[in-house]
Amino acid sequence: MELIVDGREIQSESDLHRTLAESLDFGPFYGGNLAALRDRLTTDVPRPISLVWRFSAESRQAMGSELFEKIKDLLVFVEEQDRKIGFKNRFTVRFE
């Protein structure tokens, strides 16, 4: 599955959580925070999934570099974890 995230529409952390929760069907009990996102992405999301964050610079500018980097680090962590485990079908992320 390829999931395209439009950075022009992701202006806050809550925008990102809402977009991912809807697109990946996280359900009504999703916590909507970075710890919950990490939990869902590492355990619940069927692979393969390729997340492409287009216009990511616009998200960075809107939400601030510090928060954006935390989110980016989390997504890259999930990608690296899948790679290290050796999953054939895995989570990948790309920022454009």
Q: What integer is the mean pLDDT of 17-41?
A: 95
Contact indicator for 3, 41 with CB cutoff of 8 Å: no
Q: What is the pLDDT of residues 65-78, one digit of tens each?
A: 999 999 999 999 99
Contact indicator for 23, 10 with CB cutoff of 8 Å: no
- Coil/strand/helix, residue 32: coil
Q: What is the pLDDT of residues 33-87, one digit of tens each?
A: 999 999 999 998 999 999 999 999 999 999 999 999 999 999 999 999 999 999 9
Q: Given CATH 3.30.370.10, say whether it is the number of domain 2-95.
A: yes
CA gap 63, 93 in Å, rounded:
19
Q: What integer is the mean pLDDT of 12-22?
A: 97
Residue closest to 63 by CA, chosen among 17, 2, 28: 17
- Percentages (nearest 5) of helix, strand, coil residues in the chain: 50, 15, 30
Nearest-10 crossing angle of helices 13-23, 34-43: 30
